[in-house]
């Protein structure tokens, strides 16, 4: 069964993807930034499901670290056939007039540069012209890419606009290489990411405003990402799939 790689896999949506993919029989490699305890707990859960696991601290802002992570995956588990480009952050809720340069660089480097370098390493391993066997890349964008996140984090929303563009362009570029590239655009999902924005219970506040009447769960996003990565989605590429309860 194909090896699956997940960046930012230790918590939230990435964690649910790891568990679903492991339950489907995939060996799992995941990265995280710093919180080793969460990573160790997930690694133990994956092993308990009978799958092999490779977990490594790897800041996606660091190109050399991302390359070393993928080299580690190759050595430990073999070449990946699924890569979920998932790691992402928000900055504290603020209006653009109050953004610092440091804040914007951090969001842009994590969400855009990190995603591009991750996607690049995935293509280098999957492309048939490079000796790969093809595969599936799923990018975690956000419904914010079209809503803009005014008063909260336009910088974050703009990085997700970049994810939509990356998905559309790369899907066309590598379709002939046997690689499918798709994105999910989650809405308000109840994970710890909102703590970074300074409002841990943001999902509770906004849930009732969403057409479907509640926030979403990490599992609901993961189910869509895992489907996009699977052969069940064999004719789907370049798609931006909203998982946003109608938001």
- What does the binding site for ligand NAP look like in residue numbers (CB under 6 A)? 7-14, 31-35, 38, 58-61, 86-89, 110, 140, 142, 186, 188-189, 191-193, 218
Rounded (10°) angle between helices 12-23 and 36-48: 20
For ligand NAP, the closer of residues 131 and 200 by Cβ is 200
* 200: DSSP letter: T
Closest distance of CB 128 from ligand NAP, Å:
28
State which residue, 1 or 195, has the beta carbon closest to ligand NAP.
195
Q: Which of 32, 99, 153, 156 is catalytic?
A: 156
Specify the residue, 38 or 210, whose C-beta has the smaller distance to ligand NAP: 38
Distance CA 106, CA 61 (A): 8
DSSP-derived 3-state class of residue 82: strand
CA separation (Å) from 188 to 108, 196, 207, 213?
21, 14, 7, 11
State the minimum distance, in angstroms, from the CB of residue 221 to ligand NAP. 7
**To the nearest whole angstrom, how small is the minimum distance from the Cβ of residue 189 to ligand NAP?**
4
In a 13 Å sphere around the CA of 135, the CA atoms on its Cβ side amount to 27
Which among 228, 246, 235 has a CA at the least distance from the CA of 4?
Answer: 228
The yes-or-no answer on residue 156 being catalytic is: yes
Minimum gap (Å) between residue 127 Cβ and ligand NAP? 24
Q: How far is the CB of 183 from ligand NAP (least distance, A)?
A: 10
User: Which CB sits closer to ligand NAP, 100 or 195?
Assistant: 195
Which residue's CB is nearer to ligand NAP, number 10 or number 167? Answer: 10
DSSP 29-61: EEEESS-HHHHHHHHHHHHHTT--EEEEE--TT
- 234 contact partners, CB below 8 Å, separation of at least 6: 180
Rounded to 5 degrees, φ, ψ at 84 are -100, 115
Ordered strands of the 80-85 beta sheet: 53-57, 28-32, 3-6, 80-85, 135-140, 179-186, 240-243
* DSSP character at residue 177: G
Q: Which residues are catalytic?
A: 156
């Amino acid at each position: 069964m194909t090896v699956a790689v997940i960046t930012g896999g230790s918590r939230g949506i990435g964690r649910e993807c790891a568990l679903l993919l492991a339950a489907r029989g995939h060996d799992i490699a995941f990265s995280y930034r710093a919180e080793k305890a969460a990573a160790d707990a997930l690694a133990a859960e994956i092993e308990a499901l009978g799958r092999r696991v490779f977990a490594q601290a790897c800041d996606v802002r660091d190109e050399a670290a991302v390359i070393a992570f993928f080299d580690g995956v190759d050595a430990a588990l073999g070449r990946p056939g699924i890569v979920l480009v998932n790691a992402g952050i928000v900055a504290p809720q603020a209006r653009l007039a109050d953004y610092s340069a440091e804040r914007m660089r951090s969001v842009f480097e994590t969400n855009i540069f990190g995603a591009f370098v991750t996607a690049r390493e995935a293509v280098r391993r999957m492309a048939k012209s490079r000796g790969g066997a093809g595969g599936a890349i799923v990018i975690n964008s956000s419904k914010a890419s079209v809503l803009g996140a005014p008063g909260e984090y336009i910088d974050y929303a703009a990085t997700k606009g970049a994810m939509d563009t990356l998905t559309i362009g790369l899907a066309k570029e590598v379709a002939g290489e046997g690689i499918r590239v798709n994105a999910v655009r989650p809405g308000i999902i109840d994970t710890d990411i909102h703590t970074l924005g300074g409002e841990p219970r943001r999902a509770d506040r906004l849930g009732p405003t969403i057409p479907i009447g509640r926030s979403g769960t990490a599992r609901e996003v993961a189910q869509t990402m895992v489907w996009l990565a699977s052969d069940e989605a064999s004719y789907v590429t370049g798609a931006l799939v909203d998982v946003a309860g109608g938001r």
